[in-house]
Amino acid sequence: MTPQKRFQTYDLILEKAIRSYSVHMSSLSIDKKRKMGLSMNRIEENHIFDLLKRFQDAEVDAVIIDAFVSKNNRLQTEASRLFPDIDVLCEHHADDTYPCVAAASVIAKVERDRAMQSLSEEVGRDLGTGYSHDPLSLAYIRDFIREHGKPPVIARASWITTQRILEEEKPS
């Protein structure tokens, strides 16, 4: 789905949604947790649990989680513990199968697109998508490191892409 189509769909989804929550993870908070030894998967799991807890008092028929890895027993077990009386599904690529998960994916992507747009305006430069394959994102990080000798605070210092650029830009 194109970004423009996502933006159009976003409003329709929120109009129909009974309840919607999202969590923003800043690069600084992720880096802090990574320094404490948490993996990105564990950080994401913790945020999923935080979101699920917001729904504990709601009348929920089922919980469907789009697992970020193909087999995530811990995520399934913990979610089932939070919701012992209802079905809990934890599937990789659940957004391909379940419309409600696809809708949540659209919400997340639009909010991320908006955050990247806001950051672009803040720094006065198009940052692209913020993904490791995006030349605009990579160029910004590289240029910032060349100018300041360190990554920008809006980029995760613990990100392997940032680490690679730091290594490449290290003075010889």
The C-alpha angle with vertex 98 and arms to 97 and 104, in degrees rounded to 5, equals 125
Average pLDDT score over the chain? 90
Residue with tokens 């423009």: 4
From the candidate CATH numbers 3.60.9.10, 3.40.50.300, 3.40.50.10800, 1.10.10.460, the one assigned to the domain spanning 126-172: 1.10.10.460
H/E element, 52: helix 40-54
* CATH code for the domain defined by 3-124: 3.30.420.10
pLDDT in tens, 38-78: 999 899 989 988 888 888 777 888 889 998 877 767 888 88
Say if residues 116 and 128 touch (Cβ distance below 8 Å): yes
Token digits of residue 33 = 């947790």
All structural domains of the chain with their residue ranges = 3-124, 126-172
Q: What's the one-letter identity of residue 74?
A: R
Token digits of residue 118 = 């806001």
What string of H, E and C letters represents the secondary structure of 98-149?
CHHHHHHHHHHHHHHHHHHHHHHHHHCCCCCCCCCCCHHHHHHHHHHHHHHC
Check residue 121 and give its pLDDT. 98
Q: What's the one-letter identity of residue 161?
A: T
Assess whether the region 3-124 and the region 126-172 belong to the same CATH fold.
no
Express the helix, strand and coil content of the chain in percent, nearest 5 each: 60, 5, 35
Does pLDDT of 172 surpass 80? Answer: no
Measured between its terminal Cα atoms, the distance across the chain in Å is: 44
Check residue 139 and give its pLDDT. 97
Q: What percent of the chain has pLDDT over 90?
A: 59
Q: For the whole model, what pTM was predicted?
A: 0.85
Check residue 1 and give its pLDDT. 81
- 74-93 average pLDDT score: 87
